[in-house]
Amino acid sequence: MDATGETLVVLTALPLEYKAVRRLLEGLERVDQAGTVFERGRLPGTSWTVYLAATGPGNDSAAVITERAINFVRPQAVLFVGIAGSLKSDVSPGDVVVALEVYAYHGGKESPEGFKGRPRSWESSHPLQQVAMYVHSVDEWRGALPEAERATTKVHFKPVAAGDLVLDAPAESPPRVHLDRNFNDAVAVEMEGAGSANAATKAGVPFLLARGISDLANGTKRSTDGAGMQETAAQHAAHFLTEVITQFEPANAASLPKAPSSGQPTDELIWQPLDQPASVAWYRDVMPSSGYANGPSLLEIHLVPIPVTSRITATRMRELAGEMVNLGRSKGLFTNAEEVDVHNTAEMTVVAVANPRGRSAGLAITRSEQRSAWDSLPKPGITYVLDEDDVRGRITTLLEVLEAVDGQAAPSYAPAAGIEKTMMVMVERLSEGDPHRSSGMRMSDSPVRVQPEEAATAAAVASRGSDLVEKLAARLLYAFRASDR
């Protein structure tokens, strides 16, 4: 099948939700991307190509897969569809809820005075809201439902609450009381909408969430599930959503830049801003003090996993030590003549060269999958040199080494870069006789750092390395010059 520029992503969490959408598409073919399985098909009667994928339960997983889908497909909209529990007596099993807003209801602070909510929320996109309201007003979508369910199925346009637990408790239970007190206008509760809405919003892609009500979230879930309400709710939501897609005209779709004319999605390096810089272990954090104290000025590169989804076992960490030594030698980070020191702890493995002649280079990996590499800056005279072309080359080499480490690849990475021991560093050209020099020596030896404030998928980092190199090099040179003012 040839994909066109008119593309949408539809995401679900559960297999029964996935199947409810899948049976409404035609010409399906499997398309894998960075370990995520998509099915690409057409919605009959439309020009839309739909990429369908399952995120699994939970907001974190939904956020990762949404961001991956956006990077891969470059869609004109992302739609999440599935089932939810009702929070209101007038929202019944079988009804459909279109989220005007998605609340992440678990944020807050527990203090001696009690719980103080710190909620976050994301509105669904206005154009998609308008189309959904039009579909509800015309009401032709009900023709796809079994005749007995057409008159009783209602559509609600209200906020939805998304948390990190399956809620099936009486109205007086603490979670229900918390929702009623702090999110009183939410009519349904689920587990993925906040993560997906957050990722789509940050990427600037239109987003809509539609949920079929499968239970009352009040302790009776087992009986309604046993009666087949999950399947019924998923089918109702899928039929409503596909009618929204049918009426969502491409001319009205706010889109990202189109994919290449070949129709094949690419791993373009799209950055997702983080709410705050990711926590990073810098060179002086990972290198034992004996190796750090008298070391040279050096360039350090780090890939911080976003989010931290797993931890490397202690056994695997020990195995990685020998592999990283061999990898460093094969990639030219260490010479065959250099002795490489290995430092193992429960949380980190470091392999490094540090000798009296001023040479320093190393690799490190943490149990949370942060990957780090560093190398000395060139020293043609009495000072170390920060040359733009040389920096690009060193970053390229360090990234190649980091990507070759056989760890547990994270869904996304936030890159960080820095210059350590900066007082003896000058910005100049390594080429002989070039007059472009910095104006004097730095008066501070504090490190210069580019904080990990944005993330990109692991696949994009691997396939668009040259873009990442240019970005890191430019930001590092700017930060160094700015710190010298």
Q: Which of 155-164, 231-240, 403-412 has the lowest mean pLDDT?
A: 403-412
List, for residues 286-339, the tens digit of each pLDDT value: 886 654 556 788 999 999 988 776 678 778 888 888 899 999 998 889 988 888
**What is residue 3's predicted lDDT score, i.e. its pLDDT?**
40
- Amino acid 117: pLDDT: 61
Among 63-72, 172-181, 266-275, the minimum mean pLDDT is found in 266-275
* Residue for token pair 């739609």: 79
Q: How much is the average pLDDT of 360-371?
A: 91
Q: Give the model's pLDDT for residue 59.
A: 86
pLDDT the model gives residue 253: 42
Is the sign of the CA dihedral 237, 238, 239, 240 positive or negative?
Answer: positive
pLDDT at 403 over 90: no
| pLDDT greater than 70 at residue 106 | no
**Mean pLDDT within 67-75:** 90
pLDDT of residue 90: 92
Region 137-165: what's the mean pLDDT?
92
Residue 250, pLDDT > 60, answer: no
Asked if residues 340 and 350 have their Cβ atoms less than 8 Å apart, the reply is no
pLDDT given at position 1: 36
Query: Which amino acid appears at position 122 of this protein?
Result: W
Q: Are 353 and 339 in contact (CB under 8 A)?
A: yes
Contacts of 119 (CB under 8 A, 6+ apart): 103, 104, 105, 107, 108, 182, 183
Query: Averaged over 87-100, what is the pLDDT?
Result: 93
CB atoms inside a 10 Å sphere around CB 444? 10
Task: Give domain 7-263's CATH number out of 1.10.150.120, 3.40.50.1580, 3.30.910.20, 3.40.50.80.
Answer: 3.40.50.1580
Give the pLDDT band of residue 255 (cuts 50, 70, 90): very low
Identify the pLDDT of residue 411. 75
Report whether pLDDT(236) > 90: yes
Query: Tell me, what's the pLDDT at 242?
Result: 95
Write out pLDDT tens, residues 268-289: 567 778 878 889 999 988 886 6
- CA 369, CA 371: separation in Å to the nearest integer? 6
Average predicted confidence (pLDDT) for the chain: 84
Coil, strand or helix at 414: strand
pLDDT at 154: 95
Please tell me the distance from the alpha carbon of residue 12 to that of residue 17, in angstroms, as a whole number. Answer: 6
Q: What is the pLDDT of residue 263?
A: 44
Domain ranges for the chain: 7-263, 273-483
Mode of pairing for the β-strands spanning 7-12 and 26-33: unpaired
Query: 140 pLDDT band (50/70/90 cuts)?
Result: very high
Task: Write out the two tokens for 394.
Answer: 């060193």
For position 131, what pLDDT does the model report? 94
Least confident of 95-99, 224-228, 230-234, 340-344: 224-228
Q: Which residues pair with 26 in a beta bridge?
A: 42
Q: Do residues 281 and 368 make contact, with C-beta atoms less than 8 angstroms apart?
A: no
| Alpha-carbon gap, residue 317 to 142, rounded angstroms | 56
CB 353 within 8 A of CB 359: yes
The per-residue pLDDT for range 417-475, each reduced to its tens digit, is 999 988 888 888 877 544 444 445 666 788 999 999 888 877 778 777 788 888 898 88
Q: Identify whether the C-beta of residue 5 lies closer than 8 Å to the C-beta of residue 23.
A: no
Q: Quick one: pLDDT at residue 120? A: 80
217 has a pLDDT exceeding 80: no
Tell me what percent of the residues of the chain surpass a pLDDT of 90: 41
